[in-house]
Amino acid sequence: MSKQEWAPGLEVQGIDPPLSLGDFRLIAFDMDSTLVTSECVDEIADVVGKKAEVAAITEAAMQGVITDYKESLRQRVALLKGVRLEQLEAVYNDRVRLTEGAERLVAACKQAGLKTILVSGGFTFFTDRIKARLGLDFSRANLLEVQDGALTGRLLDQSWGDICDGEEKRKAVLDLASLMGISPTQVIAVGDGANDIPLMQAVGLSVAFHAKPRVRSVAKVAINQGGLDRLLEVTRPAS
């Protein structure tokens, strides 16, 4: 597929805009550096003076240099041992900001009748709050183990498995699509990192947001400038 610039900072490939939002039934969002402007794990690490160390692992994982996402996450979480819940609350309140255009895009998708799911390699502490704030329908993320009000440096297994990596993101969204009785072609996926690629390759419309080169290369829409609501420039409202 060859990319073409649809508008300044907005590339498309393999599609013929404008697409109708009404042709889709589900939109899946990544959280860190997509729905929110920061990488939450890096911000937690900053609280305990380990941001550089954790951020280096995060960047390598998002670029796809570290191919074992689960191991990279375990390494980062281990460095967070001892962080207290009140410190996590402060990170959310002081450092986690919704990305420009996030609320407008979510509202437009809801207006068009789409269901919404947040699938993140981050943590439920943050995804639960973002889900509630944006009124999203579903979410899947990783659960930090807490003892005596502090992180243990470990993750807890959940009913669906151990860690939400790229493959789990793909599986969670496709399982939900199946339960909804819709085709993967009726799903939109929005993300920025290498762990979003398996999902992007499985759905009808893939959107790379200020993304790494590998992610832009596989996405049908690449938003390289501006906010998330720029997706609405290549879609039209449901009729």
Q: Which residues are catalytic?
A: 30, 32
Q: Three-class SS of residue 150?
A: strand
Q: What is the CB neighbour count within 10 angstroms for residue 107?
A: 13
Q: What are phi and psi of 209, to 5 degrees?
A: -110, 110
DSSP for 188-236, written as a single string: EEEE-SGGGHHHHTTSSEEEEES--HHHHHH-SEEE-SS-GGGGGGSEE
CB 110 within 8 A of CB 116: yes
Q: What are phi and psi of 150, to 5 degrees?
A: -135, 155
Torsion sign (Cα): 142, 52, 208, 103:
positive
Q: Amino acid identity of 57?
A: I
Q: What is the largest CA-CA distance in the chain?
A: 55
